[in-house]
Amino acid sequence: MFNFEKLKVYKEAISFANEIYLLTKKFPKNELFGLIDQFRRAATSISLNIAEGSGRNKKEFKRFLIIAKGSLQECIPLLELTFLQGYITQQEKEKYYNKCIELFKMLSILIKSIS
C-alpha cells in the first residue's frame, strides 16, 4: 500500500470522482467532449495530485495539494452549469457542492499540517 492510500482525503477524492463519473453518465451524448469530459477531468485530478504529490518533499507535496484544491474548485462552476442546463437537479447540485466543501476543508487541513 502506498502512503497516500491511507489518507482519508485521498479516499474521499476517489469516491467523489467515482460519483461524478456516475452522475455524468446520464448527461446527453453531445456533452461528451464538453461538460462531461471537463467535469471528469477536474474531479479525477484531485486524487491524482494527492497521489503524485505524496511522493515528493513537503514543499512540493503542498504545491500539489494546492493544485488539487484548484481542480476541486473547477467543479463548482461545472456543477452550476450542469444544473442550469437541466442535467442535474437542485438536490444533486447541493449534494455535490457540499461534498466539494468537505473535500476543500480536508485539503486545507492537510496543507496546514505539512506547512
The CATH number for 26's domain is 1.20.1440.60
Question: What pLDDT sits at residue 30?
Answer: 94
Per-run averaged pLDDT (10 residues), the chain, 115 residues: 95 98 96 95 98 96 98 98 97 98 98 93
> How does 83-100 read in b/e, with b if 16+ C-beta sit within 10 Å?
beeebbeeeebeebeebb
Q: pLDDT per residue over 20-30, tens digit each?
A: 999 999 999 99
Structural domain of residue 84, as residue ranges? 3-114
Number of folded domains in the chain? 1
